[in-house]
Structure 1
């Protein structure tokens, strides 16, 4: 049986990191969090996507590949891992932001790097309306995210739906609507999600 590698995914602001930390804490398993604010190109990217998209996407790809390589020994030891991203998001963002020539280059690099990386056993796909996402982005208050416009978020939501529909043909994808969930302040909401994760991880817990 494959050691559980549970990935939480969804559009910017949907609550991936918050839920990832909560699930890891509840089950007392290892937690993998993506590097975002450390990306030196990100603010420039949101100011001029055409000029800085390739640098931004390559930084994310290389860092995430390194993180996934680092957790591989844990999974081989039978230690479950919960992550606040799935590597397919790299393709999703790069395909949307890169010019065709750069996209083709990026796609080849991605395919090579992804060949030997651990694959998710379960994906928790968090969804929310565009209104909710925009509110959460504003509430979080990251300076570079405040520049994101509504149309961009709406397009990302559509892209994520398409990506998850593809992934669920060969990976377990659990879709959860989060507009009316508050996993920070409402234990019942958190328990609702934990109950759905439990069957995929319980056999590996001490």
Structure 2
């Protein structure tokens, strides 16, 4: 049996990760894994006071993502059922590095390493990014109450951090297929041709990977 497709979609807040993950799951009939966001009881407070609530917020996300990955490994990947997720666990380190104090970050990394060392790893990563105006526009359009207090400077730094993180990820994981798209150039929600372009790329990547196993 060859590798089981495990696709993750990543990028900063508001770039369209969940919308694209849903579309890919529907196109290929893959199991969809969506991260838990609205259920985080600390997130609203975090956007109001990042320094005060960052550790609680990041630990909640880490524990829930760990549990989700554990579940998909047990119930889907081990049963040879492909999965597409709207996040990659590496995002935890992107957010933690920006928001946690040094002492908190050291503890966080230790916990992260313990929880994730044997977690399932994706074989295809789709990376989305966009300029700050596009991100702010899309965040406003989806109208989540907990996101109304996002600081644009925080979002800009987050986008920059994602760029650096994906670059490092590609260098350290040459065996993983990374597909990159600009949210400024592609609107896969409103433009069917844009979505079909991405779906075609994913299909080609899946075929290429299956032929090299």
- Counterparts of 2:9 and 2:54 in 1: how far apart (Å)? 24
- Counterparts of 1:177 and 1:52 in 2: how far apart (Å)? 31
Listed one character per residue, the Cα deviations across residues 33-87 of structure 1 (whole Å, up to 9, x for unaligned) are: 0000100000011111111111100000000000000000311222110000000
- Counterparts of 2:157 and 2:189 in 1: how far apart (Å)? 27
Could you tell me which runs of 5 or more consecutive residues in structure 2 were left unpaired when the two chains were aligned.
none
Residue equivalent to 2:22:
21
1:85 to 71, 76, 87: 87
**Cα distance, 1:172 vs. partner?**
2.0
Superposition misfits of 4+ residues, deviation over 3 angstroms: 200-203
Residue equivalent to 1:46:
47
Which range moved further: 177-186 or 155-164?
A: 177-186
Alignment pair present for 1:193 and 2:198: yes
Two-structure CA RMSD over aligned residues (Å): 1.3
- Counterparts of 1:155 and 1:47 in 2: how far apart (Å)? 17
Contact 1:34/1:85 (8 A) holds in 2 = yes
- Counterparts of 1:126 and 1:59 in 2: how far apart (Å)? 24
Alignment pair present for 1:96 and 2:98: yes
Could you tell me which runs of 5 or more consecutive residues in structure 1 were left unpaired when the two chains were aligned.
none
Contact 2:21/2:85 (8 A) holds in 1 = yes
Task: Using structure 1 for the length normalisation, give the TM-score.
Answer: 0.95
2:130 to 128, 131, 137: 128
Listed one character per residue, the Cα deviations across residues 3-58 of structure 1 (whole Å, up to 9, x for unaligned) are: 11100000100000000001000111100000001000000111111111111000
**Cα distance, 1:154 vs. partner?**
1.0
Alignment pair present for 1:172 and 2:177: yes
2:116 to 101, 114, 117: 114
The count of aligned residue pairs is 204
